[in-house]
Amino acid sequence: MSVSDRALAIAARVETFVRDVVIPYEQDPRRDHHGAPTDDLVMEMRERARAAGVLTPHVLESGGHLTQRETAVVLIKSGLSPLGPLACNTMAPDEGNIYLLGKVGSPDLKQRFLTPLVEGRARSAFFMTEPAAEGGAGSDPSMMQTTCRRDGNHWVVNGRKAFITGAEGAKVGIVMAKSTEADSAGGACMFLVDLPDPAIRIEHVPNTIDSSMPGGHATVAIDDLRIPADQMLGEAGEGFQYAQIRLSPARLSHCMRWLGCCIRAHEIAVDYANRRMAFGKTLIDHEGVGFMLAENRIDLKQAELMIDWCAGVLDTGSLGTVESSMAKVAVSEALMRIADRCVQVMGGTGVTDQTVVEQIFREVRAFRIYDGPTEVHKWSLAKKIRREWRAEHGH
């Protein structure tokens, strides 16, 4: 990656902080019911990040944002531990919500809702996905069942949401709902809300394969949530467009962070393979093991290049939906192969909690689903290929 000296310096500081300060916290017992770090642990790490000058490092003191290519080198380093993005305040969903608010929020909304997120004093949640059993929105936001209607100088929201990351314990919420108002043409709206709110009720927080995100992935009921009209994010009916402003770079940010984790997993597997003896020689000298590590090196480089390419597209000002879909597919699948090989190289040790490798395997497996599973992105790309062919051939 060809990036500025500024970004390289920030990335170096972040890497030092994660390796020296954050990684020892991986054995900290402060975890919730499904293994995610508790808020007191997160805030303790953030205080140390603030003292080290690496809190929210992708947002500049001026309020500006690093370019996507600069962000990549920083977020990759923050991802060297699953706790790194939490400590440095580069974790989903906050990182994506910060980006969206910076792009669309009014000055008043930025002051009220964005500032505490940038300062790492609050967590946020993005309320878009809905229960599949009820025909709600998932990978297809147009299926949204949650509604909003005007009532004087307020909007009233009703519906149910599912897999809302970080809802439990969040202080800021972005709620997405489909307007019933004629002048919104049935489009979606986004609203900023203070949390907790009695009208937003957490019904269930399931145990999931991943465990890196505080607050889990909750199912939420929204009953007559009244939101002042001036807390709408952007314009009525434009929510689907705003979702793309958020989701395209957010997909890429996930790729960055989990690439950092897989770099770390590969380091651990390489160290293990060079120390562990079997059948008279170290594991790495057995062709089957050495080849797996060689394949890891190839996949790591390909993932890095794909991230850099997509980041460059986003830096041109394009929404980059096609490119981010391609990156999401290529990188998530490559990282899954890497994590799987690391577990395999380490044998029995690889499936235990003696190292962070087994957690990284679980986290990357979940990454292949959220922000659009591989199959949805492939389907979307196939539709674009069909449209391009028909346009070229006059069909």
12-32: per-residue pLDDT in tens?
999 999 999 999 999 999 998
Residue 108 lies in a domain: no
Q: Answer yes or no: is pLDDT of 240 > 90.
A: no
Half-sphere exposure of 242 (CA within 13 A, CB side): 28
Residue 326 lies in a domain: yes
Q: Are residues 271 and 181 in the same domain?
A: no
Query: How large a percentage of the chain has pLDDT more than 90?
Result: 87
pLDDT in tens, 261-305: 999 999 999 999 999 999 999 999 999 999 999 999 999 999 999
Query: How large a percentage of the chain has pLDDT more than 70?
Result: 98
User: 3-state secondary structure string, the chain?
Assistant: CCCCHHHHHHHHHHHHHHHHHHHHHHHCCCECCCCCECHHHHHHHHHHHHHHCCCCCCECCCCCECCHHHHHHHHHHHCCCCCHHHHHCCCCCHHHHHHHHHHHCCHHHHHHHHHHHHCCCCCEEEECCCCHHHCCCCCCHHHCCCEEEEECCEEEEEEEEEEEECCCCCCEEEEEEEECCHHHCCCEEEEEEECCCCCEEEEECCCCCCCCCCCCEEEEEEEEEEEEHHHECCCCCEHHHHHHHHHHHHHHHHHHHHHHHHHHHHHHHHHHHHHCEECCEEHHHCHHHHHHHHHHHHHHHHHHHHHHHHHHHHCCCCCCHHHHHHHHHHHHHHHHHHHHHHHHHHHHHHCCCCCCHHHHHHHHHHHCCCCCCHHHHHHHHHHHHHHHHHHHHCC
Distance in angstroms (rounded) separating the CA atoms of residues 273 and 195: 48
Distance in angstroms (rounded) separating the CA atoms of residues 45 and 56: 12
- Say which range, 99-108, 135-144, 212-221, 330-339, has the weakest mean pLDDT: 135-144
Label residues 362-381 b or e (16+ Cβ within 10 Å = b): bbbbbbbbbbbbbebbeebe
Segment 124-132 shows an average pLDDT of 96
pLDDT bin (cut points 50, 70, 90) of residue 139 is confident
Q: What is the pLDDT of residue 245?
A: 87
How many domains are contained in the chain?
Answer: 3
Residue 119 lies in a domain: no
- Tell which of 237, 259, 288 closes a domain: 237
Q: Which residue has the higher pLDDT, 44 or 184?
A: 44
- Say which range, 89-98, 142-151, 177-186, 214-223, has the weakest mean pLDDT: 177-186
- Say which range, 133-137, 201-205, 252-256, has the weakest mean pLDDT: 133-137
Q: Are residues 230 and 361 in the same domain?
A: no
Q: Is 297 left (phi over 0), alpha (psi -120 to 50) or beta?
A: alpha
Q: What is the pLDDT of residue 14?
A: 98
- What angle, 0 to 180 degrees and rounded to 10, lies between the N-to-C axes of helices 68-78 and 239-275? 40
CB 366 within 8 Å of CB 293: no
β-bridge pairing 172-179 and 200-204: unpaired
Kindly report the CATH number assigned to the domain that includes residue 229: 2.40.110.10
Q: What is the pLDDT of residue 63?
A: 83
Q: Are residues 196 and 252 in the same domain?
A: no
Q: What is the pLDDT of residue 185?
A: 61
Q: What is the pLDDT of residue 50?
A: 98
What is the pTM assigned to this prediction?
A: 0.95
Q: Answer yes or no: is pLDDT of 182 > 80.
A: no
> Considering the chain, what is the average pLDDT of its residues?
95
Q: What is the pLDDT of residue 138?
A: 84
Residue 116 lies in a domain: no
Q: What is the pLDDT of residue 140?
A: 84
Q: Are residues 282 and 322 in the same domain?
A: yes
Q: Are residues 9 and 30 in the same domain?
A: yes
Segment 70-76 shows an average pLDDT of 98
Q: Are residues 245 and 305 in the same domain?
A: yes
- Tell which of 237, 259, 278 closes a domain: 237
The whole domain housing 138 covers 125-237
Residue 248 lies in a domain: yes
- What's the Cα-to-Cα distance from 106 to each of 175, 184, 222, rounded to whole Å? 16, 20, 25
- Say which range, 182-186, 215-219, 384-388, has the weakest mean pLDDT: 182-186
Q: Answer yes or no: is pLDDT of 131 > 70.
A: yes
Residue 42 corresponds to which tokens in the numbers above?
A: 């997160």
Q: Are residues 139 and 277 in the same domain?
A: no
- Say which range, 133-142, 151-160, 214-223, 307-316, has the weakest mean pLDDT: 133-142
In 10 A of CB 4, how many CB atoms?
13
Q: Answer yes or no: is pLDDT of 1 > 60.
A: no
Question: At a CB cut-off of 8 Å and minimum separation 6, what does 33 contact?
Answer: 205, 207
Q: Are residues 279 and 378 in the same domain?
A: yes
pLDDT bin (cut points 50, 70, 90) of residue 340 is very high
Residue 106 lies in a domain: no
Q: Answer yes or no: is pLDDT of 315 > 70.
A: yes
Label residues 185-211 b or e (16+ Cβ within 10 Å = b): eebbbbbbbebeeebbebeebeebebb
Q: Answer yes or no: is pLDDT of 186 > 80.
A: no
CA 114 to chain centre: 17
Q: What is the pLDDT of residue 141?
A: 82
Q: Are residues 347 and 273 in the same domain?
A: yes
Segment 237-264 shows an average pLDDT of 93
Q: Are residues 275 and 373 in the same domain?
A: yes
Q: Are residues 223 and 247 in the same domain?
A: no
Q: What is the pLDDT of residue 366?
A: 96
Q: Name the residue among 291, 275, 274, 285 with its Cα closest to residue 337.
A: 291
- Tell which of 210, 237, 264 closes a domain: 237
Q: Are residues 276 and 382 in the same domain?
A: yes
Residue 110 lies in a domain: no
Q: Answer yes or no: is pLDDT of 184 > 80.
A: no
Question: At a CB cut-off of 8 Å and minimum separation 6, what does 274 contact?
Answer: 282, 283, 284
Residues 218, 93, 193, CA angle at the centre, nearest 5°? 75
Residue 102 lies in a domain: no
